[in-house]
A = this chain, B = another copy of it.
Amino acid sequence: MKSIRILDSTLRDGMHAVSHQLTPAQMAIVAAKLDEAGVDSIEVGHGDGLGGSSCQYGFSRAPEAEYYQAVAQVLTKTRLAVLLIPGIGTVEDLEMAMAHGVKTVRVATHVTEADTGEQHIKFAKAHGLEAIGFLMMSHKAPPAKVLEQAKLFASYGADIVYVTDSAGAMLPADVAARISLVAGALSIPVGFHAHNNLGLAVGNTLAAIAAGATIVDASVCGLGAGAGNTQLEVLTAVLDKAGYHTGVDLYKVMDLAKDVVEKLMHRPQTVNTDALAIGYAGAYGSFLLHSRRAAERFGVDSRDILLELGRRQTVGGQEDLIIDVAIELAKQRNSSL
């Protein structure tokens, strides 16, 4: 029976869905139950990872170090992981996390910018951490480009490389094309991180595993940005039915979902029309609010703005482009009247 390693992201990606307001004590309760249920690894921290707690990305409820401390104390077998987005988090932040028991770091870059993670991967390896290269918005690059960037991460010493569907914009065939190319060419394990904006988080994760991924992300109740991540308890049941071994106790993660995490959520994790627009357009989740404001100001449909942003291959940080697109769409509409 093929084994699949599960990395739970409830306490990191899930923080987006609760405005980063979980307390260290709440995290410790969830972490202890994930550990008891046999989940291999859990990622903890601000939604945007190390250094994310800030004016720009929103402050966490508590100082970052307190989260790692609280969680590390309750773990017995489960590995503690953090996310590091170069430019948001620094090597100093990582040292802090290491001091509090973190064993794995995921260095997350835009799919075409793995080189910005070189120093962080090398630092992690030099200090005995497990290092994972995490290629965000992988739908934006064709499979060959994803492979090129995955090879860069491998060359820096990454132990694992992830194909990450940040906007939940991929179809199963898109996932399979990227994962199979990377898994076939690299000797290190390949991972997959899904979002459910097109209702395909579980389906895409199955497609990723069939294509060669051996580590996949999930979160309890699907808690995560946008439409959320792959729902841990659902994935556990599905992988069991499909004949894979995860080591996760299904009933225990179901109980955790129902008795603990559901009560911590601010809203149910459904595919609402905002999440769907992001997945359909393949645009950054953070563009949503700006697009809606620009749409109102210029009398256009915010979905048309998102679609155009998706077409233009915009990347995070290009929020100023949104106004330009809205003005152009308004002009087009006026000239066609």
Contacts and interface: CB of A to CB of B under 8 A. Distances in A.
B301 A198 contact: no
A249 to B, nearest CB: 12
A272 interface: yes
Interface stretch (A64-72, A237-245, A286-294): A237-245
Contacts of A204: 203
A15 interface: no
Interface stretch (A40-48, A107-115, A273-281): A273-281
A206 B254 contact: no
A101 to B, nearest CB: 31
Contacts of A268: 268, 270
Interface in A101-149: none
B202 A250 contact: no
B200 A238 contact: yes
B171 A280 contact: no
A250 B235 CA distance: 29
Main secondary structure of the interface of A (DSSP, over half): helix
A82 to B, nearest CB: 27
B233 A273 contact: yes
A257 interface: yes
A199 B271 CA distance: 12
Interface in A45-85: none
B200 A276 contact: no
Contacts of A171: 206, 238, 241-242
B198 A280 contact: no
A202 B198 contact: yes
Interface string A214-258: 000000011000000011011101101110000000110011011
Contact of A250 (B203, B250, B270, B280): B280
A75 to B, nearest CB: 24
A280 B202 CA distance: 14
A276 B254 contact: yes
A199 B230 CA distance: 9
Contact of A172 (B198, B203, B222, B233): B203
A201 interface: yes
A269 interface: yes
B303 A251 contact: yes
A237 B196 CA distance: 13
Nearest to A174: B241
Given A203-B203, A241-B280, A251 B198 contact: no
B237 A254 contact: no
A279 B204 CA distance: 18
A279 B233 CA distance: 12
21 contacts: A171-B241, A172-B206, A196-B199, A199-B201, A199-B234, A200-B206, A203-B207, A233-B273, A233-B276, A234-B271, A234-B276, A237-B276, A237-B279, A240-B280, A251-B303, A254-B276, A257-B272, A257-B273, A258-B272, A258-B273, A269-B270
Interface of A: 171-173, 196, 198-204, 206-207, 221-222, 230-231, 233-235, 237-238, 240-242, 250-251, 254-255, 257-258, 262, 268-273, 276-277, 279-280, 301, 303
Q: What 6 pairs across the A-B complex have the smallest Cβ distances?
A: A203-B203, A199-B202, A268-B268, A237-B280, A199-B234, A254-B273
